[in-house]
Amino acid sequence: MLLQVKGINTYYGLSHILFDVSLEVDRGEVVVLLGRNGAGKTTTMRSIMGLTAPKNGTVTYHDQDITGLSPYKVARLGMGFVPEDRRIFPDLTVRANLEVGLKKSRNNDNKWTFERVFDLFPRLKELSRRRGGTLSGGEQQMLTIARTLMGNPDLLLLDEPSEGLAPIIVKSLGEFIDRIKQEGMTVLLSEQNVKFSLKHSDRAYIVDSGHIKYQGSIKDLEKDEDVKKRYLAV
């Protein structure tokens, strides 16, 4: 397993948010963490990345215990986190935004070059001289993902990537996920968009009120109308 989360409990102050959350992601998989608004998806991502340390339980990555390690150290080990709120640098050009990601790379044999990223996101090539802040929401989402790729991750955490995007952009986001999976990338996705997730993932976990309520293959989840109705409002 590339990533193993075992029985984590995470708090914000005194509020207990995650209850014994466990999940696993194997190399080459696209795994989705599904759940409604406020279910605990972002908190799970933050706990894995070290942005909010779990009170107990463990996070293991590359067979190394990374529980509570600072986010930049986790990033250096190869984990790339794309947060929900698309943190680009609005005053820097698209190209300069990508350079920031490149500098964070942990080694010199970076597989991700400008060329490769522009091949994946041709729109960013067209926009490369524009300032980040002038981009649309969908373009900023692509830029955030592209910048993270420049850091050469082997595990990509995408927190609700389809949120607030127009259907056509969601479609290209799906194509992007399919393509990097083909190229061997491992992805942990958090989503509320069930249709999108079912189409582009191999396995799913459902989180509800901070508890993992379901885990299984996408095929099994697709057939499980009861689970979908109960936890996903579909």
Can residue 182 be called a binding residue for ligand ATP (CB under 6 A)?
Answer: no
Q: What is the identity of the amino acid at 119?
A: D
Q: Which is nearer to ligand ATP, 34 or 127 (CB)?
A: 34
> Burial, 114: exposed, middle or buried (Cβ in 10 Å; 0-12, 13-18, 19+)?
middle
Q: Among 3, 5, 8, 17, which residue interacts with ligand ATP (rule: CB under 6 A)?
A: 17
- Helices and strands (H and E) in the chain: how many: 10, 10
Can residue 78 be called a binding residue for ligand ATP (CB under 6 A)?
Answer: no
Report, in Å, the least distance between residue 103 CB and ligand ATP: 29
Q: Among 12, 73, 233, 234, which residue interacts with ligand ATP (rule: CB under 6 A)?
A: 12
The rounded distance, in Å, linking the Cα atoms of 102 and 117 is 11
Nearest Cα residue to 50 out of 37, 61, 39, 40: 61
Report, in Å, the least distance between residue 15 CB and ligand ATP: 5
Can residue 41 be called a binding residue for ligand ATP (CB under 6 A)?
Answer: yes
Cα radius of gyration (the chain)? 17
Q: Among 30, 39, 127, 158, which residue interacts with ligand ATP (rule: CB under 6 A)?
A: 39
The rounded distance, in Å, linking the Cα atoms of 22 and 57 is 9
The rounded distance, in Å, linking the Cα atoms of 38 and 233 is 14
Q: Among 29, 32, 35, 146, which residue interacts with ligand ATP (rule: CB under 6 A)?
A: 35
Q: Which is nearer to ligand ATP, 40 or 174 (CB)?
A: 40
Q: Which is nearer to ligand ATP, 36 or 76 (CB)?
A: 36
The rounded distance, in Å, linking the Cα atoms of 138 and 173 is 9
The rounded distance, in Å, linking the Cα atoms of 167 and 190 is 18
Q: Among 3, 23, 30, 40, which residue interacts with ligand ATP (rule: CB under 6 A)?
A: 40
| CA torsion angle 119 120 126 132 (round to 10) | -140
For residues 98-157, which are near ligand ATP according to CB under 6 A?
A: none
Q: Among 2, 5, 29, 43, which residue interacts with ligand ATP (rule: CB under 6 A)?
A: 43
Per CB under 6 A, the segment of 12-20, 144-152, 175-183, 226-234 that binds ligand ATP is: 12-20
Interacting residues with ligand ATP (CB under 6 A):
12, 15, 17, 35, 37-43, 84, 160
